[in-house]
Structure 1
Amino acid sequence: MDPIRNPYSPGAGTPPPELAGRQAVRDMVRISLARIRIGRSAKSIMMVGLRGVGKTVLLERMRLDAEGDGIHTISLEAPEERSLPALLAPQLRVALLRLSHVEAARDLAVRGLRALAGFVGKLKVTYQDIEVGLDYEPEPGLADNGDLSIDLATLLEQVGRAAQSANTAVALFIDELQYVKAEQLAALISALHRCAQQQLPVTLVGAGLPQLRGQMGDAKSYAERLFDFPMIGPLDEADAREAIEKPAEAEGVSYQPEAVANILSETQGYPYFLQEWGKQAWDTALLSPISQDDVTAATAVTVAALDESFFRVRFDRLTPSEKTYLRAMAELGPGPHRSGDIAKQMNRSVQSLAPTRSSLIAKGMVWSPTHGDTAFTVPLFDAFMKRIIPGA
């Protein structure tokens, strides 16, 4: 087995060789973008799911699909330490400059660039991390009120009018949206709502952890009417099998049926884990077909690799009290778990643990599927916690 020809690609946002089981949501986004381009109503799309389900990979594939269809796209990842205006401003500038090269849209795109200058000039006082080159002087009264909600709506309106004149659309592809602060998220939703009301071709295709749906509802009560929220979960058995077998078949390599069954059992169908197990099984095997013994031997290596990368990078961000909380959750199993059960496991009161739970939610480590429940956002994290902190 040639390691150079190993087809599997575990990594943060690394495209897998076979994007199995995601065609339905890709079609949903393609139809939505095509509709807004011709002035028809369509909801923005907000994909939600746990870590390791391939949201980042899927978002990038959708963006490339959109670019191939002539849609102008903006690609962002929302880190915890940056403001949304700081992320959006440079990308909107690029989109407007591209639109200004279309003769029919030039004047409106230039006006959009003037709106951007006003937007940055006023909001830089509040959001000091905004850094963007300005190509035109601001137009007085255009996106320069100093109120993010009002100014962002005006700016996206100008972007939409330019895109409309160019017979295209502008799609914002934003990952990790759960890290955007509530008031900034509310401003973005409000701006998209205004564009939708005026049938302007501006939309959002986003991705985030499951708590994002609740965050958006809290930010703006009408968010659930403005967005579709497809849940991106683990692959079913047929799609998971395809994700493992098809890349190997392209290289002339096969698996014994029981070897694939073992991988599917270990990974629970999560795309990132499928790539890790596939890579290690390939590197372990001496020849085709890859056997059950090969997968068994590869499992120990895979778990060690995950512990030192995928799991460890999240564990290292935790405070001692947060680690204790998650270890108590792990003792109860994969979850979700009632807050009272976790508190009982720790011999603490629910109220005393509330700040720790809130902090873990803010860090994207846990979420609340229903009121009073807590679940890991990282699949298989309960087993990792038991390995890294042995003993009850």
Structure 2
Amino acid sequence: MDPVTNPYAPGAGTRPPELAGRDEIRRRVTTCIARLIRGRSDKSVLMVGLRGVGKTVLLDQMRKDVEAIGARTIRIEAPEDRSLPAILSPQLRVALLSLSRVESAKGLAKRGLQALAGFVSAMKVTYKDIQVGIDAEAIPGLADNGDLESDLSDLLETCGQAAKSAETALVIFIDEMQYIEELQFGALISALHRCNQKELPLTVIGAGLPQLLARAGNAKSYAERLFDFPMIGPLDSESAGVAISKPAIEEGVEFEAEAIERIVEHTHGYPYFLQEWGKHAWDVAEESPITAKDVQSATVTALAALDESFFRVRFDRLTPAEKRYMRAMAELGPGPHRSGDIASQLNVKVTSLGPTRNNLISKGMVWSPSHGDTAFTVPLFDEFMMRIMPTE
């Protein structure tokens, strides 16, 4: 098979050739934004899911979807070591400059830039990582009090007013939201609440690991009334099969039914893994149709590629104690696992593992589906831990 025409695209945030099984959630978000543009309120959407389910790809596609119906958008990713004001301010500047070119919104967009100037000046005292220049004179008393919750509410309100005057909606897309510090997350939720109360067309479409739901609830008790939290999981067998077969058919290549079954079985329907297996099955096969035997050979190279990149980059961030904790989880299976069972596996007291578990949650390696339970955030990581650390 010609590797040049290989259609599969494993990569961080790389759009697959066929975005299968996600039509419903895309429609949900497009409907939400269409309602906002028309002056109607709706809950926003914060998607939650494990690594490798395609949340980043979905965010980028949703952004294209809502821009196609007239929305203005910005997109940010929340890293572990940056503040929300630092990553949000430059993008809001871009959005307000864009709105200022709409005649009906020019005055309110200018006021938004003045609010942003005051916000940045006030926040630099607390969040020293803010680096953005604003060519506008701040209005004393507008978003410049130095209190994040109050100032961010003022700022987003002015942005929402500008969007409304331009007869559009401003949609803030945020990836990796689990890394937003709780106080800052609470301020964002409060600001969105104000916009919702004032019927302003500004909202957030976000994505993060499963702990995002608990973090939102901890930040503000009314978060569940502002957002829907759809769980983005692996694809069902039919959608997974389409994700594999359709790109190949468009290149004049077919998969045997058994070959597709084997790929779905190995990947458990996770979109990132489907792309990895599809790529390696294509490269291994000599001709069409691609067979189950080709998939068997491809499994060796696909796992090696995952071990070297997708899994290893996460493993290398762990301390020795964290690796032992994860290895003990792997010994128990895919999970989730009770904290007591993990402690028994390590032959230590449950209380001694608290700091290690909390660090792993902070790093996005594990999460707690329910009180006392711990689960991997990375699918198939238990199998990887058994390979990389064959003995406990």
Shift of residue 103, structure 1, vs aligned partner: 0.5
Shift of residue 391, structure 1, vs aligned partner: 1.6
2:306 maps to which residue?
306
Q: Does residue 363 of structure 2 align to residue 363 of structure 1?
A: yes
Shift of residue 44, structure 1, vs aligned partner: 1.2
Runs of 4+ in 1 over 3 A off after TM superposition: none
* Structure 1 stretches lacking a partner, 5+ long: none
2:135 maps to which residue?
135
- In 2, the alpha carbon distance for the partners of 1:49 and 1:370 equals 15
Q: Does residue 391 of structure 2 align to residue 375 of structure 1?
A: no
Matched ranges for 1:217-366 at <5 A? 217-366=217-366
AA of the residue aligned to 2:27: D
SS of residue paired to 1:321: helix
1:57 maps to which residue?
57
SS of residue paired to 1:81: coil
Matched ranges for 1:179-190 at <5 A? 179-190=179-190
2:35 maps to which residue?
35
- In 1, the alpha carbon distance for the partners of 2:161 and 2:86 equals 22
SS of residue paired to 1:65: helix
1:19 maps to which residue?
19
1:61-90 CA-partner distances (Å, limit 9, x unpaired): 000111111111010010001100000000
AA of the residue aligned to 1:101: R
Shift of residue 34, structure 1, vs aligned partner: 0.7
2:98 maps to which residue?
98
1:88-119 CA-partner distances (Å, limit 9, x unpaired): 00000000000000000000000000000000
Shift of residue 41, structure 1, vs aligned partner: 1.1
1:8 maps to which residue?
8
- In 1, the alpha carbon distance for the partners of 2:38 and 2:146 equals 33
Shift of residue 232, structure 1, vs aligned partner: 0.1
Shift of residue 135, structure 1, vs aligned partner: 1.4
- In 2, the alpha carbon distance for the partners of 1:25 and 1:135 equals 39
- In 1, the alpha carbon distance for the partners of 2:313 and 2:391 equals 22
SS of residue paired to 1:199: coil
TM-score normalised by L of structure 2: 1.00
Q: Does residue 117 of structure 2 align to residue 148 of structure 1?
A: no
SS of residue paired to 1:205: strand
Alignment length, in residue pairs? Answer: 392
- In 1, the alpha carbon distance for the partners of 2:371 and 2:223 equals 20
- In 2, the alpha carbon distance for the partners of 1:38 and 1:155 equals 22
1:229-274 CA-partner distances (Å, limit 9, x unpaired): 0100000000000000000000000011111110000000000000
2:45 maps to which residue?
45
* Structure 2 stretches lacking a partner, 5+ long: none
Shift of residue 195, structure 1, vs aligned partner: 0.2
AA of the residue aligned to 1:306: L
- In 2, the alpha carbon distance for the partners of 1:271 and 1:230 equals 17
SS of residue paired to 1:294: helix
- In 1, the alpha carbon distance for the partners of 2:169 and 2:41 equals 13
Cα RMSD, aligned residues only: 0.5
Shift of residue 224, structure 1, vs aligned partner: 0.6
- In 1, the alpha carbon distance for the partners of 2:91 and 2:42 equals 23
- In 2, the alpha carbon distance for the partners of 1:273 and 1:207 equals 19
AA of the residue aligned to 2:69: D
Shift of residue 158, structure 1, vs aligned partner: 0.3
